[in-house]
Amino acid sequence: MNASASPAAPPSLVRRLGRPLAALVAVGVPTLYVAGVDPNQPGHYPTCPFLQATGWWCPGCGGLRAVHALAHGRITEAAHDNVLVLGLAVFAVLGWLLWCWAALTGTAGPRPRLSGRQAAMAVLVLLAFTVFRNLPAGHGFAPPAA
């Protein structure tokens, strides 16, 4: 290799932001669809197979309704439909903004990794949420019946 060769030019802004923007499109297009096609109106989306088989709300039940409510700026309604989706949306937006900042500044950025303990805790939270929202005391965490 020639010692006098100049270092490679840094990637362009478009190239650095390519992946975050692709992720935005990959999430944004389905979100726009759910924003436009109301899950509160019967017949637009299939019934949850877990709910249909057991009669219990799964951790994702009400998720489409929550996304629809968030897309229309109704945060309280989104929290009632599925508080986990609301929490995940906040973390997703913050993570995406950090990813964009890292791409803009050329830093390594955050590398989200779940340890075994964190993954086990996430599973326990999902199970506890599922059980609690199906108990009489947790009826406020269940989405409204369609």
Q: Name the domain count of the chain.
A: 1
Of the CA atoms within 13 Å of residue 14, those in its CB half-sphere come to 0
Residue 8 lies in a domain: no
What pLDDT, on the 0 to 100 scale, is given for residue 83?
A: 94
Residue 5 lies in a domain: no
Residue 28 lies in a domain: yes
* pLDDT tens by residue, 72-127: 999 999 999 999 999 999 999 998 998 888 888 888 766 667 788 989 999 999 99
pTM score, two decimals?
Answer: 0.81
Residue 27 lies in a domain: yes
Structure tokens, 19? 């992946």
Residue 118 lies in a domain: yes
Residue 4 lies in a domain: no
* pLDDT tens by residue, 10-33: 677 778 888 899 999 999 999 999
- Alpha-carbon distance 3 to 14, whole Å? 30
Q: Which domain holds residue 116?
A: 13-141
Which amino acid belongs to residue 145? A
The answer to whether 89 and 70 have CB atoms below 8 angstroms apart is yes
Helix (H, G, I), strand (E, B) or coil at 12: coil
- Alpha-carbon distance 9 to 2, whole Å? 17
Residue 80 lies in a domain: yes
